[in-house]
Amino acid sequence: MATRIDKEACREAYNLVRDDSSDICWASFKYDGSTIVPAGHGSDYEEFKSQCTDDNRLFGFVRITTGDAMSKRAKFTLITWIGENISGLQRAKISTDKTLVKDIVQNFAKEFMISDPRELEEDYLRNELKKAGGANYDAQAE
């Protein structure tokens, strides 16, 4: 059976993360049978990380504040989490299913496909986003 996505519910969660007046910094999307649905959202990144278990596969849209001494800005990332215990067929399917998520989650600076919990560390993601972000004034004297 082909995978579907609950567009309205997922778009609502996506917009919560994008809203500058909201303290929501992440939203996750999981499989409910053959439909991708919101799995939650929140203001504590650790809550998102706790969903990324060995027996789970999900997508995450995360806001991370990056920048340097001259400017701070919100950057967004799309994370595809594939736990160690996910079958080969489900691993293969997640790549094609990601296009459904990308129809909703369209604005992000960098995309990650992660199965190692260490790569979920917020500092690691922040550094990767910083590298992708262009100008860096940290080396200049204030």
CATH of the domain at 27: 3.40.20.10
Whole-prediction pTM: 0.89
Residue 66 within any structural domain of the chain: yes
Instruction: Inform me whether the pLDDT recorded for 6 exceeds 60.
Output: yes
Residue 24 within any structural domain of the chain: yes
What integer pLDDT is reported at residue 44 of this predicted model? 95
Domain span at residue 44 reads: 4-132
Residue 139 within any structural domain of the chain: no
Residue 33 within any structural domain of the chain: yes
DSSP state string for 81-117: EE-TT--HHHHHHHHHHHHHHHHH----SEEEEE-SG
**Domain tally for the chain?**
1
Cα-atom radius of gyration of the chain, to the nearest Å? 16
Q: Model confidence over 45-100: pLDDT tens digits?
A: 999 999 999 999 999 999 998 766 677 788 999 999 999 999 999 999 999 999 99
What integer pLDDT is reported at residue 72 of this predicted model? 79
Tokens representing 86 are: 């996910």
Work out the pLDDT band at 134, boundaries 50, 70, 90: low
Residue 138 within any structural domain of the chain: no
Task: Write the DSSP symbol of residue 81.
Answer: E
Residue partners of 7: CB distance under 8 A and separation at least 6: 103, 104
Residue 142 within any structural domain of the chain: no
